[in-house]
Amino acid sequence: MNTSLSGGHAEAPIAADAVARLNAVGLDWRHKAVPATAAGLTAGDFLGTAPRLADFQTPLLTLDAGALRGNADRLASWCGEHGVLLAPHGKTTMAPQLWAEQLSRGAWGITVATFAQLRVAREFGVRRLQLANSLTDPHAIEWVAGTASAEMPILSWVDSTGTVDVIDRTLEAIGSTAVLDVLVELGGTGGRTGARGVDAVLDVARAVSASGHLRLVGVSGYEGSLAHAADADSLAAVRAYLGSMKELHGKLLSEGLYGADTSIIITAGGSAYFDDVVDVLASCITAGTAEGGPAVELMIRSGAYIIHDDGFYRGISPFSRDGGTPFAAGMHGWARVVSQPEPGLAILDAGKRDLPVDKGLPRPQLIGSALGGPMTPLTGAQITAVNDQHSYMAFDAGTTTVRPGDVVRLGLSHPCTAFDKWTLIPVLADTDRDQTVVDLIHTFF
């Protein structure tokens, strides 16, 4: 089978009709973002009433249409300029509507992390999928074997000979003749998954080559688990790891361990170090040779970029570090003061069940007397602690007046743990200038 994993395809990258059907979803009490007055309407009918931020209640998470559009355009353009593929990590949003926006800008496909996420993506007709994980669950192995095809590929990773054995035994037991496309994963000391060291990965690749059910189509890795800052030591650790990926690729070529008649994909790069990935690994890219040498593509998997934030990614993103124009924060939290029990302390009605806290606490930005009304900067205030349903906001009682019922806009950190708290997220035309709700984003966690 002569298969190009990176070439174009005639079919749509996602099923537009499946995405469009989300407008027919009925709204009710299960959607905590939706006002009670919307109950009984479909999402499309509700949007037809031209709702505004003021029609909603707190706590609330909103997105900004301009920021999402600008961020998606920005990275798509950057990837085009650098000649690299983009397979956005869909687990960030688990929102097919946003996947469609990314795919419409030329993304290769969508990356996911779990079997459940694979099923969501395929339900919405995503044609090209990458599982950034190993297949070890027999049910998942059987499903991928029965679902993947040359026209609708599913790539997965392997990081041990044990994984190779599990896949072989599972497919042999059901009499399957399927051949699954896999990438060998290089890990790093203290990191997450991935065989530790080039030699260990070569052993895995040899096992793949000997398997009747697997075909090696690339090298994978995740540098983001090895560093969490942009200082010199962190960047050096990232680049050293990427250098090992490059070394591994060279040895796989020299041993002839890649599958025959296929293009090769080298993939790394979350939303924090994608520039370093391209800087170190771009020299591996080749269009192939007349003598039959394989084409090699470089793929990044940034996921958080389309949303970005006012916290972790704002500080670490390459576009924030290089002195250029950073991505725009595309999400905000809104919370109401439910108690002002002592001077300098306000209790807000949004907690860990509503807003992300794992990469930094929410940051008070603005305050006003009503959601959707005029707001003023909230200088010097900070969130000091967060419970399940409440946040503690400290402020200077001598300079700032805070009353029960006031609404606070919050800057947030880490989109991955913001989206999973909401099944429906309103999108504002412009958070600062036009708070008309122009879309409702459905998530599937």
For 380-415, b/e burial (b = at least 16 CB within 10 A) is ebebeebeeebbbbebeeeebebeeebbbbbbbbbb
Predicted local confidence at residue 10, as pLDDT? 55
Q: pLDDT of 394-442, one tens digit each?
A: 999 999 999 999 999 999 999 999 999 999 999 999 999 999 999 999 9
How far apart CA 184 and CA 253 sit, in angstroms, is 13
pLDDT band at 177 (very low <50, low <70, confident <90, very high): very high
Predicted local confidence at residue 191, as pLDDT? 85
The closest of 250, 239, 247, 221 to 159, measured between CA atoms, is: 221
What are the extents of the domains in the chain?
A: 31-63+327-442, 65-307
Average pLDDT, the chain: 95
**Is pLDDT at 4 greater than 70 in this prediction?**
no
Q: pLDDT of 84-104, one tens digit each?
A: 999 999 999 999 999 999 999
Q: pLDDT of 379-395, one tens digit each?
A: 999 999 999 999 999 99
What average pLDDT does range 294-306 have in this prediction?
96
3-state secondary structure of 70: helix
pTM of the predicted protein model: 0.94
Question: Rounded to an integer, what is the distance from CA 175 to the centroid of its chain?
Answer: 36
| Geometric angle at alpha carbon 439, from 437 and 445, rounded to 5° | 125
Classify domain 65-307 by CATH architecture.
Answer: Alpha-Beta Barrel (3.20)
14 Rama sector, left if φ>0, alpha if ψ -120 to 50, beta otherwise: beta
How far apart CA 252 and CA 68 sit, in angstroms, is 39
Residues 88, 76 contacting (CB under 8 angstroms): no
Listed in sequence order, the DSSP H helices in 351-419 are 416-419
AA letter at 277: V
What average pLDDT does range 188-207 have in this prediction?
94
AA letter at 140: A
Q: Is the CATH number 2.40.37.20 carried by domain 31-63+327-442?
A: yes
pLDDT band at 2 (very low <50, low <70, confident <90, very high): very low
How far apart CA 281 and CA 278 sit, in angstroms, is 5
Predicted local confidence at residue 292, as pLDDT? 67
AA letter at 396: D
Structural tokens at position 360: 């930094």
Q: pLDDT of 20-57, one tens digit each?
A: 999 999 999 999 999 999 999 999 999 999 999 999 99
Residue 177 contacts by C-beta under 8 Å, 6 or more apart in sequence? none
Say which residue, 360 or 191, is predicted with more confidence.
360
Predicted local confidence at residue 321, as pLDDT? 85
Q: pLDDT of 114-168, one tens digit each?
A: 999 999 999 999 999 999 999 999 999 999 999 999 999 999 999 999 999 999 9
